[in-house]
Chains A and B, each alone.
Chain A
């Protein structure tokens, strides 16, 4: 059985790593490459860098940041997203050293996503779905307009057809809150065969364990709270326990 992954999520806004709360409030954290370097040393299973303002500003991916990340020589797989508009941009991200690309707004353009998939392979594409549960069903947020609409079969077509390998399910309403992830987003997700990455409001080990126990969940992303204490990744791994994830590691000689 493949191990499940604890993904360290670095949210980037205007070049700075930030804490993000509900897609609307932000606090500065530091330099994204310093957070990535740290997650790498801590033994995160994947690092996901999401530049959240690139699409809105229509400025394309932040290749300067990607170059700085590439120069770190990270041993942890890197996924990179934000601002991707074209097949060429996605290809350039992979050529710059990221293992995977994260597609958000462009997910609505099946032609572009299909082209990216043909170029880099479906395994290298994560699709971002900001969702909420309104009591009746799942709602998908268009973060550019701020409007939520019911999640439809069309929204899932790229996932069902394996054009995109995994869905990053973002509980955007609870993003940044403590132990607040809405499990309905996983339980009610209508495509049972699509591997899911749960993100938003996950901060505690018992949540992590519950999510890892769900067959549909391939990975769990954690952002803000990883910056609150030393060895946050290792502590979560130890507390969540089990054999489904790689064991915690503590580097014993930093020289």
Chain B
């Protein structure tokens, strides 16, 4: 990819994304990005007709004799899981098998939300626990190789549902929103894009599949990574596995959806240090912290930019307000790094050394040993940011706590929770 110096012309005039977005981003002749253009469809499409289309898409997959599940639904103790299951079970009246990958970085809040999810929606659930020795080895390797502590989570969450579809011979997998469509407008909603192995490798896994990880220069072996291998084409074809995205058929708005689930199904939320959105990823100690900090090091922006762009597009923030929020949050230190060091068995200074290796010189300049100057997106955006007190139009409500402080460690296995 070409990497020209960032100027104001590198940014969308409507949101805060730049053409350096890791998923790819196209600016049109008016300086508006592909993500904002596709977002316009949310206010143009006939969503009642889209829902009818969804009903026709899922109809052939209903179990005729009720002796198997109708579909597989990947879930976690956060994200859009409640709303997805609500749509699948309560509106489409399907009988889903919920599947979840144990990411090990679990918070109590996430364990509670997941337990409440399966109880309230009365669903069967299958949990994949990959042995912790392999997960640690993989995490150490991916952190060293490409600065990711989250590869195993992304790989596990995206492959276990597909493996389950093959094993249980339940061909339909139902996902929530398509990240590429929502963030950068990779597809129109009307393309009705489905899950593909190519997208997973290209974007979810940062170009690295399980089979690419083992190396003669590392201790990681096939025995550590085979659980993350995508089913082969023959297996997928034999079962007819199809992964659809609800976001193609429902006007996707995570804030509104989460608030509905908070009021009707007791989904609980919690605040983070590095973003204003306290609804996403409350199940994980690392996603909004260590993982987010690494994103800032490698990509020059962090999750708060994603959240601000989404809220700008939904009209709940102005561009200036979004930029003010980004500048307020993005340099805040990541929390809970001590938990990660304890889990992985590294010292804080070793972790800091490994993280610094992945600072992208396009966005960071070392001015003195250990001192870094940030040259990332928010510093190049240019536009004046609104005072932070003006950002009240986009309130997020915390109903719980991500870090309960009563328990200072990951919940590596969490089977249930008194709701």
| Chain A residues proximal to chain B, CB less than 8 Å | 13-19, 25-31, 34-35, 37-38, 41-42, 224-225, 227-231, 234, 250-255
Contacts and interface: CB of A to CB of B under 8 A. Distances in A.
25 contacts: A14-B1, A15-B1, A16-B1, A16-B26, A19-B186, A27-B188, A28-B25, A28-B34, A30-B198, A30-B202, A30-B203, A34-B198, A34-B207, A41-B233, A225-B191, A227-B196, A230-B197, A230-B242, A230-B243, A231-B237, A250-B232, A250-B234, A250-B237, A254-B232, A255-B229
B22 to A, nearest CB: 10
Contacts of B337: none
The CB with the most chain B CB atoms within 10 A, among A42, A229, A230, A252, is that of: A230
B372 interface: no
Contacts of B202: 30-31, 34-35
Contacts of A229: 193-194, 196, 242
A251 B198 contact: no
B184 interface: yes
Contacts, number: 107
A15 B20 CA distance: 12
B371 to A, nearest CB: 33
A38 B185 CA distance: 21
A58 to B, nearest CB: 15
A29 B201 contact: no
Nearest to B211: A255
Interface in B150-199: 180, 184-188, 191-199
The CB with the most chain A CB atoms within 10 A, among B2, B25, B38, is that of: B2
Given A27-B34, A234-B237, A38 B197 contact: yes
B45 to A, nearest CB: 16
A169 to B, nearest CB: 24
B187 A27 contact: yes
B234 A28 contact: no
Interface residues of B, number: 42
A252 B232 CA distance: 6
Contact of A251 (B38, B186, B201, B234): B234
Interface in B43-68: none
Interface string B201-231: 1110001000100000000000000000111
A231 B236 contact: yes
Nearest to B190: A178
Given A16-B24, A27-B185, A31-B202, A230 B195 contact: yes
Nearest to A14: B2
Nearest to B3: A15
A171 B76 CA distance: 45
A228 B187 contact: yes
A228 B233 contact: no
Chain A interface, DSSP helix/strand/loop, else mixed: mixed
A254 B230 contact: yes
Nearest to A248: B237
Contacts of B186: 19, 27-29
Nearest to A249: B233
Interface string B10-39: 000000000100011110100000100010
Nearest to A251: B233
A50 B19 CA distance: 21
Given A19-B186, A231-B236, 6 more contacts: A27-B26, A230-B241, A231-B237, A250-B237, A252-B235, A255-B211
Given A29-B186, A228-B187, A18 B234 contact: no
A38 B236 CA distance: 15
A230 B236 contact: yes
A200 B282 CA distance: 45
Nearest to B21: A28
Contacts of B198: 30, 34-35, 37-38, 227
Contacts of A18: 24, 26
B26 A13 contact: yes
A254 B193 contact: no
Contacts of B180: 28
Contacts of A25: 28
Nearest to A34: B202
A233 to B, nearest CB: 11
Contacts of A42: 233
A42 B197 CA distance: 11
B184 to A, nearest CB: 6
Nearest to A252: B234
The CB with the most chain A CB atoms within 10 A, among B26, B28, B193, B233, is that of: B233
B199 A30 contact: yes
Contacts of A17: 24
B153 to A, nearest CB: 21
A231 B296 CA distance: 35
A224 B38 CA distance: 16
A228 B191 contact: yes
B315 to A, nearest CB: 22
Contact of B34 (A26, A35, A41, A252): A26
